[in-house]
Chains A and B, each alone.
Chain A
Amino acid sequence: NAGVTQNPKFQVLKTGQSMTLQCAQDMNHNSMYWYRQDPGMGLRLIYYSASEGTTDKGEVPNGYNVSRLNKREFSLRLESAAPSQTSVYFCASSVEGEGRYGTGELFFGEGSRLTVL
């Protein structure tokens, strides 16, 4: 039981390049999320997916796209990377997503460290 797995762990891009961050969870969770964390700051929600087939914008969605490929996988794509997108990206998952009460517990991956030059 690996929990939440993110790939790649590290990536360096040049401005204008594109890339996709992969995230997979093996806990059969309904909801998945992408956050970014800038140095010395808290986490900010980029996009989330309440259930397979649905995605919604979070606090800072500009410059990103997401795909909920299936229940396990939720990818984050940078179409044209900018230096302002240099950050640590965290994927998370939770049981909730169907309007049911849950514990509110999010399970996070180890992060993907992205540098855009």
Chain B
Amino acid sequence: DAKTTQPTSMDCAEGRAANLPCNHSTISGNEYVYWYRQIHSQGPQYIIHGLKNNETNEMASLIITEDRKSSTLILPHATLRDTAVYYCIVRVAGVNAGNMLTFGGGTRLMVKP
């Protein structure tokens, strides 16, 4: 699986959009981009995933660049409850999810009042 690079930490003001970047310059054509988050001491939570088109769900939006070498997770109106570590992961689709999910260090997002 391709390796990802994320900033170690970010701050965001409550109510503003949080934009979390991820670089995955060695991503292969059949690898998807996944985002998970981990709120303090809890199990990780799936947020969103995509291949090459931008995706949106009730939690967030995922913007993937045309060359697929980077992506941005957008939380449109961050709240204090969004304070968490956010993991960007790339993996091949169609195989067991867990055996190919490599959780790196992630980005620690701090949402401030």
Q: Which residues of A contact B (CB under 8 A)?
A: 4, 31, 33, 35, 41-45, 48, 50, 56, 58, 88, 90, 92, 94, 96-97, 99-111
Contact = CB atoms under 8 A, between A and B. Distances in A.
Contacts of B91: 104
Given A42-B105, A48-B98, A104 B43 contact: no
B59 to A, nearest CB: 12
Interface in B63-105: 87, 91, 93-99, 101-105
B99 A58 contact: yes
B9 to A, nearest CB: 12
Nearest to B105: A42
19 contacts: A42-B87, A42-B102, A42-B104, A44-B103, A45-B98, A56-B99, A58-B98, A58-B99, A90-B44, A92-B43, A92-B44, A94-B97, A96-B97, A102-B94, A103-B49, A104-B32, A104-B97, A106-B97, A106-B101
B24 to A, nearest CB: 15
Nearest to A59: B102
B97 A102 contact: yes
